A and B are shown apart, each in its own frame.
Chain A
Amino acid sequence: MTLNVQQIRSDFPILQRETSKGIRLVYLDSTATSQKPLPVIEAMNAYYRRSNANIHRGVHTLAEEATALYEEAREKIARFINAPSARQVIYTRNTTESINLVAYAWARANLKAGDLVVLTEMEHHSNLVPWQMLQAERGIELDFIPVTEAGLLDLDAYQALLARTPKLVAFTHMSNVLGTINPAAEIIRLAHEAGAVTLVDAAQSVPHLKVDVQALDADFLAFSAHKMCGPTGIGALYGKADLLEAMPPFLGGGDMIKEVKLRSFRPNSLPHKFEAGTPAIAEAVGFGAAVDYLSSVGMDAIASHEHEITAYALERLEEIPGVKVFGPEAQYKGGVAAFTLDGIHPHDVAQILDKDGIAVRAGHHCAQPLHEKFGIPATSRASFYLYNTKDEVDLLVDGIYKVKKMFG
């Protein structure tokens, strides 16, 4: 099951570009956002050139077409994560809004002062700040599953937290810094035994692994299209039907209602209850095209390709004196290599690499507490997706040697 990477690369127009004269792009920043293949770009293009209209309530041909395209995309996304029904897939702007939707509509209706929410030390800010806001507003309590030196979740400590009967366990399926793939099914099973609801931040897992919400038994699961070959401006929240049905609406406005009087309204049924106003229609179409694209390549093939590249990258990076890669060994890890280089700031590393067309990210990658835990303000991060090659890893390594020489 090896990918035809050259074939795949030819689907991504941006990979053909030069960042400056004669310098071909080496894109190693897919964890921040992925590039988009032609079928995704063209699907949105065709939508605007042919079918654009507002949806749901329109009777005319364009409105019917746009509605059908918008809802077919939802079906595709539902199948992609094996949701029992498309009405359990709510369109949002991104993972961040998906999590906030749970924090506003589910948590504010279900949590009271003193209730415990368990997070982890490796969370992205998107799965920290909404709960901190709720803590400030409601007096809920937060506690954190610690991260071990090896970059794994401390599951013994988790058991101890569960003994305090949390109401919610919200955790990342895959760390965007360490690359750690957390044992989500196990974490959820234990949470359920303790009576907690679970929220999976799947921003990094749905793009890179086969995610099956029913096999995981996840209560809520959040992800973004832009990290999985889809457009910006759209994400999704999956939820169990009974939870979503019991929740009050979040944003109020057009489309999320059944009936409106001057002083009251009746909310619409799922999924529309949570989709207020004109949604990201073209983006939904692009999102659907993205899951089609990923499915046609095959998620298992993608995962094993990334695994191969990552293992190679770790091996090559670790042979460079002064390089320290964070996170667990390749076997527990997705396609992320965050590293430091002795005495040289990640910003300088990234910027000098950029001169050779190599795009890596430098900073805290929206996981400041995790960096603090490891006693560093920032890392450089190279990340890999279906279109990356071992040659690109070699270019990265050459680039790092160049950086070292400049600062030598």
Chain B
Amino acid sequence: MKVNVLFFASLKEDLGVSEIELDVSMLAGRSELLSALKNELGTECVAPVLEENVSIAINRRIEKGDFALKDGDEIAFLPPITGG
């Protein structure tokens, strides 16, 4: 199934891409997602995404634990946020 992956701010700059489509299996969790990402972008390239201070949002909601993806989910990698 297909999921959409978004990168913001410094991640978008580091990876040189703001959005990719990934093919993952039904109910794929965090580790399968990251594996698919490594395959797609290359292990070296993906390092910034794996940093501890990067959050993952599924359909615009931060997910701190594991998750089970569904077809059409929107996954976003968010570097540290700050507004105001």
* Same complex origin of A and B: no
